[in-house]
A and B are shown apart, each in its own frame.
Chain A
């Protein structure tokens, strides 16, 4: 039985790169449109929410609302891009397009495939998160140097959400199920995690829930970097995000093995 689970684990430390490169090659063909989308989306939401609401709200936690929101949006875009990549594109490669089926006949293990897909989703979130940070820096809401520090946090956030979404992909019987994850898990998390308003404004019970949500940890980290604040509980935030990236990987690999390799 343990033999079987080993088959669902990565064969070595580099096999997954072949899967990542396959996805990169497919993405490269539509790269220009993808990058424009990555830049346009944050600009639109920063303008609309930031200036629209910003005028009414004024300052939040000692900074302008647009700057406060920009940091939250960077984390949110890492979350959504990694999630969408995993629950839609990866799901399609696993099911309709039979890409995984072909991969399973090669020297890749299921673990290699899952790891490659997660790394790719992490890359996509890095692109999306960096685009927002760039927009924020260009508009003067963050320091140039903050881009450098926010990159690893955005990547880690992407990995954590890709990993969580992989569980959903592994369990999903159809596309409807994927929509539930989006509306019942991601959207509430967006509002509970301090991305658009401070967690401190919520009742105590909600604040306690927020302390378990990966997005809340990501928002705290990215905001302190982008607004140049001293980072509080840097270790706790990082460890939490790492746990969210690693544990669901093993769980989803086991679930996918049951689904695809029985």
Chain B
């Protein structure tokens, strides 16, 4: 049985179509990344999955349970890490877990039995009795993750889990998520961080304006869509430079003030440009950022 099944799901608000005929599946134990800029429909897909929003058309099931018809049953098997912190700031770390466990019908004893291992998982053992207001951003996010695990869910839904965190805190979250995947949990991750998607996701759906524009394993997507080295050029007049390197590049994209040259033989490109003064050149392997730029004609960071 698949963990998540979306078939032709459409959702509009007024005249704005936010999710447009979306179909995808997530296998148990898999991490699927929904990748797209703000407004691509990622958060709406999360709401649809939880039965908080009702689709206009299409079919959604979670572990075979139809949503939204039996959303409450489905939610019992899902843990959610929302994009914005919605912890109870008046309460301590421990109390947050207790209150949230009760929302799943757990008794105080059941929550207290689960609390030590959750705190250990979130590296918050020493903060059990601290108020949420005293926690750092990374700690809050780890508490949100621990809270999402209180009902021992099979599926975790994460809406931009590391947005707004510093690199160190972000790496700790990624490490924790990988250990959840190793335990066999299924993860649906929405993100606009390419690095996050590349590190964690088995498979990616690239979204734009509520539509799926590409799907596949991160490296397959990169090979299929790009498949050669990239030379980034900063400075100079991009239009003049473009004609200079055009014969040696497979494809050239201009994004902002940066020129991206996709070249099977990057040395040729570099040779052409070395004579030009005031340029900064960077040769690197292709990444998901390039895939996104190719598919949508613009950079992800918007």
| A interface residues, Cβ below 8 angstroms from B | 3-4, 7, 11, 15, 18-19, 21-22, 25-26, 29, 97-99, 101-109, 260-262
Contact = CB atoms under 8 A, between A and B. Distances in A.
Given A101-B86, A262-B53, A3 B68 contact: yes
Nearest to A27: B90
Contacts of B89: 97
A102 B52 CA distance: 11
A26 B90 contact: yes
A4 B104 contact: no
A2 to B, nearest CB: 10
18 contacts: A4-B54, A4-B68, A7-B51, A11-B72, A18-B102, A18-B103, A19-B103, A21-B99, A22-B99, A98-B85, A99-B88, A102-B82, A103-B103, A106-B100, A106-B104, A107-B72, A107-B76, A261-B54
B84 interface: yes
Given A106-B100, A262-B13, A25 B50 contact: no
B90 A7 contact: no
Interface in B145-166: 151
Nearest to A103: B103
B75 A105 contact: yes
Contacts of B80: 105
Given A11-B72, A25-B91, A261 B105 contact: no
A106 B82 CA distance: 12
B300 interface: no
B213 interface: no
A21 B102 contact: yes
Contacts of A104: 50, 52
Mostly helix, strand, loop or mixed at chain B's interface? loop
B84 A98 contact: yes
B244 interface: no
The interface size bin for chain B is 20 to 34
A26 B88 CA distance: 9
A109 B99 CA distance: 16
B57 interface: no
Given A25-B91, A106-B104, A109-B72, 13 more contacts: A7-B68, A11-B72, A15-B105, A18-B99, A19-B103, A21-B99, A26-B90, A98-B85, A101-B86, A102-B82, A104-B50, A261-B54, A262-B54
Nearest to A93: B88
A105 B103 CA distance: 9
Nearest to A98: B86
Interface string B66-77: 001101100110
B232 interface: no
Given A26-B88, A102-B82, A262-B13, A108 B103 contact: yes
Nearest to A20: B102
B13 A107 contact: no
A206 to B, nearest CB: 44
B277 to A, nearest CB: 53
A101 B104 contact: no
B125 interface: no
B95 interface: yes
Nearest to A105: B80
A21 B102 CA distance: 9
A22 B89 CA distance: 12
B18 to A, nearest CB: 11
Contact of A107 (B85, B88, B99, B105): B105
Contacts of A108: 103
Contacts of A3: 68-69
Contact of B99 (A4, A25, A101): A25
Contacts of B84: 98
